[in-house]
Structure 1
Amino acid sequence: MGPGAQLPPEIQLAQRLAGNEQVTRDRAVRKLRKYIVARTQRATGGFTHDELLKIWKGLFYCMWMQDKLLLQEELGRTIAQLIHAFQTAEAQHLFLQTFWQTMIREWAGIDRLRLDKFYLLMRMVLNESLKAVKMRGWGERDIEQLLELLTSEILHEDSQAPNGVKSHFLEVFLEELTKVGAAELTADQNLRFVEPFCGIAARTTDSLVLHNITRGIFETIVEQAPLAIEDLMRELAAQEGEDEGSGGDQESDGDESSEGGREHALPPREPPAGSPEQVGDDEDSTGPVLQFDYEAVANRLFAVASQPGTPSQNRKRLYKVIRKLQDLAGGHFPEDEVPEKACRRLLEGRRVRKAKRRWLQRQAQSQRGEVREETAALSPDPSLGGERKGRRRPERAGPGPRTGARGRKGPRRRSRQPGRAPAAQATAAGAQELKRKKKRPLESG
């Protein structure tokens, strides 16, 4: 490309999206949306795979440069909603594919301080992708295409996705599916959403993927079972109330006074905002929950876990989940939990439990530090020195002869050392013999 040639519009937009000024980046995001709408409206238009990769690289660094939590949430929502600017399902599919490929490629370069904003971006893009399927009526073909895209790019054995992307995706998948489709999806449709994870959990050789699937998908289904049953009972009670109300209206006669009719037509009094009644209602309401046919999920898991090629550790882990699902299908809650306790534990969340655990650890460390300080204060100062444990021998009043080992007075003889050399012993014996020879003539005279 010559020096005077103009850059393609995708590269120009990517450069502006990664600019230093926030005003420039915001303007580039708005222009990008208009550009996507204008280009995908044409029958011969559309984007190639490389062009969308360039656009996503600019969007990635646009999110990278954004500071402040509220602005990050707003920008992440704006970027995720770009999927609705594409006019065809194929273009949306390619847009999502290039997004996950960009996240996988750039994940290793994200520092610790910027992880949260990209976790948020992945959650929002997943949410908007589910909304796109919802807008098309939860078609079976659309669901299969979305699940095939997600599993092939993130969870497949040949995928280069890092563990952080895999773990976060499996952690938020059911949460976002609940937000988008819990009020509309049936048990059969929900089974279709979790069916690909059954095969992956049975075939994978990655223990981390197996743990995240069982914990984030199947055990979450088990934990939400009490809430799902309560939600179903509320729906049945509401339907019965509507039927009774319609029957009562038909039986009521028209002889009531106009004043009584006006009083009957008044809506029920709502508690004021911030009142204890309103706060209690907000705490008790948990929203709709995904409904599952637990026996069908257990049968599907058993079909893939019982195959000969399933690793033993995978089979053992999945059989535990299957037993829990079979208990739920038989009407038995795991660990004899009542719905209130399960609801309370579910609403606490993992982050709350981790924060509480860290707080307890800090309290324990501070208490241990106080005990050490008290012990150090009560212990004697080593600089002053301590008394000797042994008793000192009393000194003699004056000098006197020392007593030997056998009670004799005088200096103590040295005992013969067992390690004495043989030459020294021979020399001593010769000296004693010479003394005896000298004494003999004197005695005879």
Structure 2
Amino acid sequence: MSELPLGKYLASSDKKTRDKAIKSLTSLLSDPSREALPKPDMAKLWKGIFYCEPVSESIVVVHSSSTLGFWMSDKPLVQQALAAEIAEIVLAISSLHASLDFLRGFWEATVREWSGIDRLRSDDPRVPSSLAYHLADIYLEELDKALDGEESPTPAPLSTLLSPFFTLAARTQSNITFQRIQTALFDPLFVALSPPREDEPPTPKRRRLSTPSYNALITNSCSTNPTSEGALEAAPLKKLLLRRMFDIGSESDTRDSNRRKLYAIWRSHVEEDEDTDGKPVDAS
């Protein structure tokens, strides 16, 4: 049984070596003659990638002799290049099921190993608060970068992509978590979707925020179905996102205090839109 020190090759500073490892991993995960990796083996594979451990090519076993970790590497440029290349594997895997399994393995490994990176307390027994903060901080920027890098990007289904954040905001017991999601994600997005009228000064909300425009994201997004909807204009897209947030806020699992906060966000933007175009905006 030959062993492939996959993690070591993926973390190599030599691009040819990394490219070969990426290609081998993509082929391994796309091979229709192989059965789908069981969940424990996918977890071991991702632990190998995470900690740059040797991985058995045939049974994807990670050995315990961990040396240099991906996140603990002292070569940030190599880390950045490797992260981008591993992310591209999701799109390169020919099987949708295998691709989603690989992506799920990443998130499970990230949640599992996050405490070794950042030891802030958890908002949920399984998901550290600091991970939610980090994702909220970078989410819009990374979506914008992904769309900006494509010549003819498929519209991003924002209602679908934002639903986990709406749900977390609805159910979290932490006021700090709610506030972080609102200030890092909800407010910048809704402001970007609400350009001021040319004949009016910026609203107080807009003056308070130094908000990126997210041009690629705003011009290449839909609600849930890129095929049937295509890229939506900012105003109807904002209305659909607010509606989705309102619906999640109305669910029985939503904490009462969070429901009031979500309704307040919804109401403030509805009123702002009414002030801007002079037309009432309903919740339907």
Q: Shorter chain as normaliser: what TM range? A: 0.5 to 0.7
Instruction: Answer yes or no: is 1:162 the counterpart of 2:128.
Output: yes
Secondary structure, counterpart of 1:161 in structure 2:
coil
Q: For 2:235 and 2:74, how far apart are their aligned partners in 1?
A: 40
C-alpha deviation, 1:91, in angstroms:
0.8
Write out aligned runs for 1:32-431 (5 A): 32-38=22-28, 40-62=30-52, 63-64=70-71, 66-110=73-117, 160-181=126-147, 185=155, 189-227=157-195, 287-290=215-218, 291=234, 293=236, 294-306=238-250, 310-332=254-276
Q: Could you list the runs of 5+ residues in structure 1 that have no partner in the other structure? A: 1-5, 113-154, 231-284, 334-445
1:405 equivalent in structure 2? none
- CA distance in 2 between counterparts of 1:13 and 1:228 reads 55
Q: Distance in 1 between matches of 2:140 and 2:30?
A: 31
Quick one: higher RCO (CA 8 Å, sep 6+), 1 or 2?
Answer: 2
Q: Structure 1 counterpart of 2:240, which letter?
A: A
| Post-superposition offset of 1:41 | 2.7
| Residue 38 (structure 1) shift | 4.7
Contact in 1 for aligned 2:197/2:276 (Cα 8 Å) = no
The alpha carbon displacement at 1:43 in A equals 3.9
Specify the code of the residue in structure 2 equivalent to 1:104: V
Preserved contact between residue 14 and residue 54 of structure 1 (Cα < 8 Å) = no
CA contact (8 A) 2:136 2:181 kept: yes
For residues 292 and 190 of structure 1, what CA distance do their matches in structure 2 show? 14
Give 3-state SS (helix, strand or coil) of 1:101's partner. Answer: helix
Query: Kindly tell me: are residues 94 and 192 of structure 1, through their superposed partners in 2, closer, same or farther at Cα, counting changes over 3 Å?
Result: closer
Q: Count matched residues.
A: 225
Deviations for 1:65-86, whole angstroms, at most 9, x for unmatched residues? 5434433322222222222342
Going from structure 1 to structure 2, the CA distance change for 1:38 and 1:228 (only over 3 Å counts) comes to farther
Q: Percent identity?
A: 25
1:196-234 alpha-carbon deviations (Å, 9 max, x no partner)? 43343223323333223322332122321345989xxxx
Shift of residue 32, structure 1, vs aligned partner: 4.9
Paired residues of 2:147 and 2:216 also in contact (CA < 8 A): no
Verify the 8 A CA contact 1:190 1:292 in the aligned structure 2.
Answer: no
Report if the CA contact (8 A) 2:246-2:263 is conserved: yes
Give the direction of change, closer, same or farther, for the CA distance of 1:26–1:201 in structure 2 (3 Å limit): same
Larger relative helix fraction: 1
Question: Residue 306 and residue 81 in structure 1: after superposition, are their counterparts in 2 closer, same or farther (change >3 A)?
Answer: closer
Between structure 1 and structure 2, the one with the greater Rg is: 1
Q: Give a deviation string over 1:302-341, Cα, whole Å, max 9, x none.
A: 34435666434213322321122202432439xxxxxxxx
Give 1:185's aligned amino acid: P
Give the deviation of 1:102 after TM superposition. 1.4
Question: Residues 250 and 259 of structure 2 are in contact (CA less than 8 Å); yes or no, is this contact kept in structure 1?
Answer: yes
Q: Which residue of 2 aligns with 1:339?
A: none
Structure 2, unaligned runs of 5 or more: 53-69, 199-212, 219-233, 278-284
Do structure 1's residue 13 and structure 2's residue 5 form an aligned pair?
A: yes
Q: 2:216 aligns to what SS in structure 1?
A: coil
- C-alpha separation in 1, matches of 2:8 and 2:175: 42
CA contact (8 A) 1:222 1:324 kept: no
**Aligned amino acid, residue 128 of structure 2:** P
Shift of 1:52: 2.4
Structure 1 contact 17–59 (Cα < 8 Å) conserved = no
CA distance in 2, matches of 1:292, 1:47: 44
Q: Residues 220 and 49 from structure 1, CA distance in 2 versus in 1: closer, same or farther, beyond 3 angstroms?
A: same
Q: Aligned AA for 2:109?
A: T
Would the aligned equivalents of 1:199 and 1:304 in 2 still touch at CA under 8 Å? yes
